[in-house]
């Protein structure tokens, strides 16, 4: 089965197209965006050579659900999701930082800590912590927003404000929103037997109003542990069972790829591709409590997506 890794649409009033790591984003005039979640997958800021069937649908539908369930905390860009792989919404000017919230010392933060770092983005981390240990309270570790092929860079609150990347009033609001969203996401995850470990949020402005933009609480932007096994595995110093993209990164590192110059992405066999697809579907079902309904993959899929988008745009 062929994954959907590229789209080439031409919509009425289309004023631009941006190809991101995993999304194709179409601008409609100055007011709206059409975001198509493709089946591309990235790790270490590199787009991998094969797509993952159903990944785009999983990401789009999880993000759509969480945008709806957090709209009382902060306005978000979503207007509608007219297709399983598509969201249409407000076009905002994005802030040049990503707000990363971490509740546990794991992933890249653990790798930095293990290498001797005791300060992450201006946040002091105490000595003696173990991998996957919970912080006393969630911490904010923002990064700059990188272009394709370049790495996001850690940055502190003070650096963001002093450099003028974001003015102080807006940045403090982003912090407030990010922590409130993380709290809500953690509560929803707990209801499903999961722990929201860490995640990223992106925000933008339309006029004077701040909006939550892009995806939220998906396996591409978040990491989840299973709550039932966390305590036992942590006590034994064993790896956590998790639902996130970290297993993809670990597979790549085991095969000598971490995004460094000169390294080659290992072969993505059909078995690897299927296992990644299965993990994405597993997360969808765990976090939503719903059975995943696979959208049809056939020769008419592009026509379906295009028709659904055009019908939606005609109603705006």
Yes or no: say if 218 and 56 are a contact pair by the CB < 8 Å rule. Answer: no
At residue 146, the pLDDT reads: 61
At residue 1, the pLDDT reads: 60
Higher pLDDT, 108 or 205: 205
> Is pLDDT above 50 for 149?
no
Averaged over 103-131, what is the pLDDT? 94
At residue 297, the pLDDT reads: 76
Q: Which pLDDT band holds residue 147 (cuts at 50, 70, 90)? A: low
DSSP string, 75-107: -BSEEEEEETTEEEEE--EE-SEEEEEEEEE-H
288's enclosing H/E stretch is: helix 270-288
Helices (H), 207-269: 227-235, 246-254
At residue 200, the pLDDT reads: 96
How are the residues of the chain apportioned to helix, strand and coil, as percentages rounded to the nearest 5?
A: 35, 25, 40
Q: What is the pLDDT of residues 1-29, one digit of tens each?
A: 678 999 999 999 999 999 998 999 999 99
Kindly state the percentage of the chain with pLDDT values over 70: 97
Q: What is the pLDDT of residues 240-257, one digit of tens each?
A: 988 778 788 889 999 999
Averaged over 79-101, what is the pLDDT? 96
How much is the mean pLDDT over the chain?
93
Contacts of 193 (CB under 8 A, 6+ apart): 226, 227, 228, 286
At residue 151, the pLDDT reads: 57
Q: Which pLDDT band holds residue 286 (cuts at 50, 70, 90)? A: confident
Indicate the domain borders of the chain.
Answer: 94-244
At residue 220, the pLDDT reads: 82
> Is pLDDT above 70 for 148?
no
Averaged over 62-81, what is the pLDDT? 97
Q: What is the pLDDT of residues 159-197, one digit of tens each?
A: 999 999 999 999 999 999 999 999 999 999 999 999 999
Kindly state the percentage of the chain with pLDDT values over 90: 84
Q: Which CATH class is domain 94-244?
A: alpha beta
If we measure between CA atoms, which residue out of 82, 78, 75, 80 comes closest to residue 91?
78
How far is it, in rounded angstroms, from Cα 308 to Cα 160? 40
At residue 45, the pLDDT reads: 84
How far is it, in rounded angstroms, from Cα 190 to Cα 175? 22
Q: What is the pLDDT of residues 287-300, one digit of tens each?
A: 899 999 998 877 68
- pTM for this entry: 0.88
Yes or no: say if 212 and 77 are a contact pair by the CB < 8 Å rule. Answer: yes
If we measure between CA atoms, which residue out of 297, 288, 279, 247 comes closest to residue 85?
297
């Amino acid at each position: 089965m062929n994954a959907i890794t590229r789209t080439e649409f031409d919509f009425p009033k289309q004023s631009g197209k941006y190809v991101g790591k995993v999304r194709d984003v179409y601008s409609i005039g100055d007011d709206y965006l059409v975001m198509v979640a493709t089946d591309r997958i990235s790790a270490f800021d590199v787009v991998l050579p094969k797509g993952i069937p159903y990944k785009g649908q999983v990401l789009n539908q999880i993000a759509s659900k969480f945008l709806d369930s957090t709209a009382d905390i902060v306005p978000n860009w979503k207007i509608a999701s007219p297709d399983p792989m598509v969201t249409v919404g407000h076009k905002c000017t994005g802030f040049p930082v990503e707000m990363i919230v971490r509740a546990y010392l794991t992933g890249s933060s653990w790798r930095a800590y293990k290498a001797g770092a005791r300060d992450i983005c201006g946040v002091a981390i105490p000595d003696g912590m173990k991998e996957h240990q919970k912080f006393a309270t969630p911490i904010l570790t923002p990064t700059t927003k990188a272009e394709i092929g370049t790495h996001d860079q850690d940055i502190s609150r003070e650096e963001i404000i002093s450099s003028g990347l974001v003015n102080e009033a807006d940045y403090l609001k982003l912090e407030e929103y990010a922590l409130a969203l993380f709290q809500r996401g953690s509560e929803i995850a707990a209801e499903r037997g999961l722990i929201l470990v860490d995640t990223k949020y992106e925000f933008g402005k339309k006029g004077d109003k701040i909006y939550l933009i892009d995806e939220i609480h998906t396996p591409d932007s978040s990491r989840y542990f299973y709550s039932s096994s966390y305590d036992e595995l942590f006590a034994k110093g064993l790896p956590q069972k998790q639902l996130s993209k970290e297993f993809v990164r670990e597979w790549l590192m085991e095969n000598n790829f971490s995004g460094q110059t000169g390294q080659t992405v290992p072969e993505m066999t059909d078995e690897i591709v299927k296992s990644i697809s299965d993990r994405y579907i597993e997360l969808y079902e765990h976090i939503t409590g719903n059975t995943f309904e696979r959208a049809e993959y056939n020769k008419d899929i592009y026509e379906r997506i295009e028709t659904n988008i055009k019908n939606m745009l005609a109603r705006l």
